[in-house]
């Protein structure tokens, strides 16, 4: 490995060691989406999920981003592939080498494979382990462990929600460089509420026959109707089509036959007389209107599909109760993968937790100390008064 490759590998390592890589944000966007998914499910189906169960599901949706699990969060519905390191600013071969050395000795698989692959997920036992669809149903039916079942269901919902991200369905490597994902981090459980709008417009949960159908449907939607930053008019994909532009924005036609903004328009000077028209999406506040068009449509489809997946979970659990042969027992005695990046992340989180704990203790101690001192000053001033009663307000 020459110096250039070593430098690039180190650069990638430092660039990727953040929690914002390859996903809707696990602290804001995923909890927000999953919360709305559960609420919309409860609004439309008789078997209800309790408040406590909802929190278990949301916790699972957060933990699915435990490094290096997210290398398995891609699915290109056109080419039926997972993440290959394509796109972005780093050569594919370098990204693949980085993955092999720092992320996981196991090759990445598509999210649709990952959602079912109990053997592979079990190899990730140092990093949350087996949280598949089959594991969720097995825990619910066989072990009667609702908490474990709902945690695993949350992991699966996370995978489904990532199918509503164009980068994830157009094989676009995007470390910290997705305008759409960066925009979506502003939506939290406190700020994202879509249920009333869905109800007022009479939207219904998406009902399909299998989990794979949900992945195919949502991935196909985000792939066919939306660009990622690095795949605008990419020859790999026939869709979406730019139908027209007004000099400021380029427009496509969505599945409801409505025009919607796909990208911004600019002109690149070629020479004194000619300009080339270019289309782009940027991490610039002035173009939030485009990203909001993406978010409104993609988040809505994620919630509609997610509610349908929860309904499917209960249906398949019921079938397994009636026919135990449908249950797939989690594997035992599986080898364990090691992830240098995963260990660095755990190490970093460990020290962050220690730092936060010390900071909180220090703040509590200081607040108590200053509070007691302030109380002492007040008491001293009161007791030193010749007539404490004179400090009391007069009654008129």
How do the pLDDT tens digits run along the chain, 396 residues long? 444 443 344 444 444 444 434 457 888 999 999 999 999 999 999 999 999 999 999 999 999 999 999 999 999 999 999 987 665 545 554 455 455 555 667 889 999 999 999 999 999 999 999 999 999 999 999 999 999 999 999 999 999 999 999 999 999 876 667 899 999 999 999 999 999 999 999 999 999 999 999 999 999 999 999 999 999 999 999 999 999 999 999 999 999 999 999 999 998 877 777 888 999 998 888 889 999 999 999 999 999 999 999 999 999 999 999 999 999 999 987 888 878 878 887 767 655 556 555 756 666 556 666 555 544 443 444 344 343 333 233 322
Domains along the chain? 24-234+286-350 (1.10.575.10)
CA 313 – CA 136 distance, rounded (Å): 8
Provide the terminal-to-terminal Cα distance of the chain, rounded to the nearest Å.
90
8 Å CB contact between 337 and 105: yes
Environment class of residue 387 by beta-carbon count within 10 Å: exposed (0-12), middle (13-18) or buried (19+)?
Answer: exposed
Token code pair at residue 241:
């089509």
Environment class of residue 361 by beta-carbon count within 10 Å: exposed (0-12), middle (13-18) or buried (19+)?
Answer: exposed
CA 270 – CA 158 distance, rounded (Å): 44
Q: What value, to the nearest 5°, has the Cα angle with vertex 273 and ends 271 and 276?
A: 65
Token code pair at residue 10:
């180190």
- Residue 184 CB neighbours (<10 A): 25
- Residue 392 CB neighbours (<10 A): 8
Instruction: Tokens 């400021």: give the residue.
Output: 248
Q: What is the pTM of this model?
A: 0.82
The dihedral sign for the CA sequence 282, 286, 287, 291: positive
Residues 6+ apart with CB under 8 A from 320: 137, 141, 326, 327
Strand order in the sheet with 249-253: 244-245, 249-253, 259-269, 275-280
Angle of helix 29-44 relative to helix 288-322, nearest 10 degrees, comes to: 50
pLDDT of residue 373: 52
Nearest C-alpha neighbor of 29 from the set 221, 227, 199, 168: 168
Nearest C-alpha neighbor of 128 from the set 142, 141, 114: 114
Nearest C-alpha neighbor of 155 from the set 133, 177, 170, 171: 133
- Residue 88 CB neighbours (<10 A): 18
pLDDT of residue 13: 46
Nearest C-alpha neighbor of 72 from the set 9, 135, 124: 124
Nearest C-alpha neighbor of 316 from the set 159, 156, 113: 156
pLDDT of residue 221: 98
């Amino acid at each position: 490995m020459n110096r250039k490759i070593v430098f690039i590998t180190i650069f990638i390592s430092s660039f990727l060691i953040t929690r914002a890589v390859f996903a809707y944000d696990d602290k804001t966007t995923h909890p927000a989406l999953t919360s709305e998914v559960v609420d919309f499910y409860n609004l439309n189906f008789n078997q209800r999920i309790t408040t406590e169960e909802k929190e278990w599901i949301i916790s699972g949706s957060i933990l699915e981003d435990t490094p290096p699990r997210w290398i398995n969060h891609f699915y290109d519905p056109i080419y039926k592939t997972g993440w290959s390191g394509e796109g972005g600013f780093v050569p594919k071969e370098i990204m693949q080498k980085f993955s092999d050395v720092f992320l996981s000795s196991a090759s990445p698989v598509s999210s649709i494979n990952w959602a079912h692959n109990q053997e592979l997920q079990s190899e990730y036992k140092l990093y949350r382990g087996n949280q598949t669809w089959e594991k969720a149903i097995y825990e619910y039916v066989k072990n009667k462990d609702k908490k474990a079942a709902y945690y695993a269901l949350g992991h699966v919902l996370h995978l489904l929600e990532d199918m509503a991200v164009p980068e994830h369905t157009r094989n676009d490597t995007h470390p910290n460089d997705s305008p759409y994902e960066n925009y979506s981090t502003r939506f939290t459980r406190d700020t994202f509420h879509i249920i009333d709008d869905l109800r007022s417009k009479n939207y219904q949960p998406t009902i399909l026959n299998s989990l794979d159908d949900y992945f195919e449907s949502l991935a196909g939607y985000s792939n066919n109707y939306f660009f990622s930053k690095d795949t605008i008019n990419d020859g790999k994909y026939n869709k979406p089509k730019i139908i027209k532009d007004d000099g400021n924005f380029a427009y496509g036609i969505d599945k409801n036959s409505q025009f919607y903004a796909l990208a911004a328009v600019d002109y690149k000077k070629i020479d004194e007389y000619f300009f080339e028209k270019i289309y782009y999406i940027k991490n610039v506040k002035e173009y939030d209107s485009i990203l909001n068009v993406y978010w409104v449509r993609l988040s809505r489809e994620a919630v509609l599909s997610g509610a349908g997946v929860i309904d499917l979970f209960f249906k398949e659990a019921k079938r397994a109760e009636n026919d135990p042969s449908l249950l797939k027992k989690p594997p035992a005695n599986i080898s364990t993968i090691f992830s240098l990046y995963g260990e660095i992340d755990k190490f970093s989180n460990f020290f962050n937790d220690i730092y936060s704990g010390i900071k909180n203790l220090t703040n509590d101690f200081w607040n108590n100390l200053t509070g007691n001192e302030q109380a002492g000053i007040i008491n001293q001033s009161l007791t030193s008064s010749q007539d404490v009663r004179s400090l009391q307000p007069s009654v008129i």
